[in-house]
Structure 1
C-alpha cells in the first residue's frame, strides 16, 4: 500500500498530541486521553501502544472505575532517555545531563581559558566525555544536545555574531554534530533561558513573557502567546545592545550606550569610582550583605538602568511577566526596589496593569535546562511512527 506524506504527517501530529497530554497531565486513562485530544478511542489505543513500545509511556496501574472495568493508567517515562544541555557564557562552560522532564541528573562547570573556538570545542569534548560516562542505562540513551550561546544564531545553528566572545560566522551545530555524533540544537542563551522558565520555572503559567538574562552582557528571550518570538530572521532578543544612553560608552558591538554596559556585570568596571580587582556579582553581593556603601550604590545604579531597559521592553511587547535571570539575580534584594520604582514611574499605565516582575525560579540553570529541553523536543518530535 502506498503511504502518502499527508497520512504520515497527520499520524505524527496525533502521536505528538497524545504524548504531550500524557506528559503534561498524567496519570491518564486511554479514555481521558481521547477526551483531551478529541481523537477517537481506537486511534488513541493504537498510538498509545506505539508509545509503550517506544518505552516513552508506561502503564502505571489501575485507576478508578466509573462503573465498568478499572482503566489502566498511563504515565510518561522520563528515564527513557537523557539529554545534554550546555551554556556557553563569556567566562565559563556549563554542561548538564537531564532526564526527559528536564530534571538535572549531573552538572559540570569549567572556566574558559580563552575565547578561541578551538579552545572551546576542546573543553566541551573533555566535559562531554565525563558526562557520557554518567548517562544511566536507558532504552534511548543520550538523545541529543542543546546549546545556548551569547550571540546571534541562525536557523542552521551558525553563530553569526557573538561580540562578547569575539565570534563571527562559526558553524557551531555542524562542528558539534561531527564531534559527538548526536543531534544538536543551537540557540541564543536568553531564548534557551526563556524556554527553560516557560516549561519548568517562573513562566509555567504565563503566555506572554520576557526573560532577561543578565550576566557578562544582557540578552532577552521573548515569548508571545506561549511561543518563542525570534523575529523575521531569528535574531530578536539582542536587547543588551539597545541604546539607553545616546552618546554613551562605546560597546564591543560597534555601537554606543548599549544597555548591557550599564545594567550587566560589565557595569562593574564602568560604574565604580575607583578600579577594583573583583568584578563578579558574588563578590559585590557579599559586600552588599555587609552593608558596604559602594556595593549598595553600585546595585542601585544597575537596578535603575535595568528598570529603564525593562520599561522599553514592557512598552514594546506588553508582557504579563518579566523574569530576570543570570548571575545578576543573586543581587535581587538590592536591585529589585530600584527596578520596580523605575518601571512603575516610566511604563505606560495600561502596560503596567497586572505586570509582574519576578526573578528566575531555576536560578542560573535556566539556560542549560532550556537548551536540554530543545534537544528533548527535537527527539520527541522525531519518534518513530509505524504505519
Structure 2
C-alpha cells in the first residue's frame, strides 16, 4: 500500500519539475527537458502528455534539427487560464486581468471616495466583475484573485488593521471567495508591490531589495535572499510607521512622528493645499511647467523620503531600494533629493554598492504582484493534483 502512495508522490514531484522546466526555459524539446531535469526520456514523454492533456503545455511542432530528426518543441500554455489582481488603495481601486505568465490582458481603475466597508466591497465586486466579463474562452477560466491592501493581514486573509482606511478585523478573503467561488489571496500591498517588481520589474534577479510603496501612506516590502520576509507574525514591513520625529505629528496608528506623515503623497497634498493644489497629477503638471514653489515642495518630500530610506539601508544593507506606487510618477522631482539625502545619512560602507531605483512598473507594481499571488496559488494546486 505504501509503495502506491510513494509512486504517486514521485509522479507529482516529477510533474512539478517538468512543468517548471517548461515555464522557465521554453521552447524546449522532450529531449532537452530530459537533459535539464535528469529524468529519463520515457518519464518525460509520459508527464508531458499528461500536461498536454491538461491544456497546460502545447506542442508547437518541429524546431531546428542538429543532425537527426527535427525535435518537437513545447511551450507553456499561458492562456489556459486567467488571474485577477487588485490593488486596493486609500483613494483608488486598480485591477488587472492577466494570463498565467502575468501578461496584462485588461485593466480597470476607479477612484475611491469613501472608506465605508460595504461600499468599498461593492466597488471591489464591480471591478472584479468587469474584468471577468473580458476573460477569453479557456480550459481553466478564472483561476484566482489576488488583492493587495494597505494594512496588516493575517494568514486567513482578514485585514486586522488598515489605519488609512480606518478598518479593523475585516474578513475580506472570506467575503470575496464566497462571492466569486475562486481562491483568493490577500496580502499587504507593499509586499505585493515587492513581488511585482521582483517578478516583472526593476527587481528581477536581485537578491536583496526593499520596495518602498509611497502613496497616501508608506509601506515596505522586504525581499532578502530572493524571498519575501514577513516576520514572526507575518506583519513585517510597516516602516511607514518608523518614528523619525520623537515629538512629531500624531499618526492614525497611535504613534507620533511616523515617516509617512512627512514623506507620503498625503504629506505632499497637505502642504500643497496652500498653493491651491489638491491632486498629485496637478502638482506634477505644475512642476513640469516650471512652478518653482511646487518643485521646492517635491524636493522637500524627496529629502524626507531619503531620510527614512537611509534608516532602511543602515538596517538591511540591501542591493537596491525601489520606490514605487503613485509617488513614483514624481521621480523627476524627488529622485535627486532622495538619493542625496540617503548618501548623506547612511553609513558609507552600506551605501557604496546601493542603487536607488524607481519602480519599472510605475504604479502597477502592487497590482501585478497581486495577480502573481493568484497565479502562484494555481500552480501549487496544479502541481499537487498531477
TM over 0.5: yes
Cα distance change on mapping 1:16 and 1:170 into 2, 3 Å: same
Structure 1 stretch 95-104 or stretch 57-66: which is displaced more?
A: 57-66
Per the TM alignment, residue 7 of structure 1 is displaced from its structure 2 partner at its CA by 4.9
Moved more, 281-290 or 261-270: 261-270
CA distance in 2, matches of 1:104, 1:345: 40
Residue-pair matches, total = 386
Partner of 1:117: 117
2:139 & 2:104 partners in 1: Cα distance?
A: 19
Aligned to 2:215: 215
Per the alignment, residue 261 of structure 2 pairs with 261
For 1:64, the equivalent position in structure 2 comes to: 64
Tell me, in whole angstroms, the C-alpha distance in 2 between the residues paired with 1:84 and 1:113.
23
TM-score of the pair, normalised by structure 2: 0.95
Map of 1:344 onto structure 2: 343
* 8 Å CA contact retained: 2:269, 2:280: no
Q: Is the 8 A contact 2:193 2:365 kept in 1?
A: yes
Q: Does the 8 A contact of 1:149 with 1:186 survive in 2? A: yes
Q: Where do 1:110-259 residues align within 5 Å? A: 110-259=110-259
CA shift digits 1:137-185 (9 cap, x unpaired): 0111011100000001111111111000001111111111011111000
Give 1:38 deviation, angstroms. Answer: 3.2
Change in Cα spacing, 1:74 to 1:358, as seen in structure 2 (3 Å) is same
Partner of 1:32: 32
Q: What is the 5 A alignment of 1:84-95?
A: 84-95=84-95
Cα gap change, 1:276 to 1:101, in 2 (>3 Å): same
SS of the residue corresponding to residue 220 of structure 2 reads strand
Structure 2 CA distance for aligned equivalents of residues 167 and 9 of structure 1: 43
Shift of 1:314: 1.3
Give, in whole Å, the separation in 2 of the partners of 1:347 and 1:42.
57
**Maintained 8 Å contact 1:262/1:302:** yes
TM-score normalized with structure 1 length:
0.95
Deviations 1:68-122 (A, max 9, x none): 3221111111111001111100011111111111111111111223112111111
Tell me by how many angstroms 1:232 deviates.
0.7
Question: Structure 1: which 5+ runs fail to align?
Answer: none
Distance change (3 Å), C-alpha of 1:52 and 1:385:
farther
CA distance in 2, matches of 1:144, 1:124: 15
SS at match of 2:306: helix
Aligned-residue Cα RMSD (Å) equals: 1.8
| 8 A Cα contact 2:83 2:99, kept in partner | yes
Task: Supply the distance in 2 between the matched residues of 1:13 and 1:281 (Cα, whole angstroms).
Answer: 50
Q: Is the 8 A contact 1:269 1:279 kept in 2?
A: yes
Residue 36 of structure 1, CA deviation: 2.5
- Within 5 Å, give how 1:290-369 maps onto structure 2: 290-369=289-368
Q: CA deviation at 1:362?
A: 1.0
Query: Contact 2:326 / 2:363 at 8 angstroms: preserved in 1?
Result: yes
SS in 2 for 1:300: helix
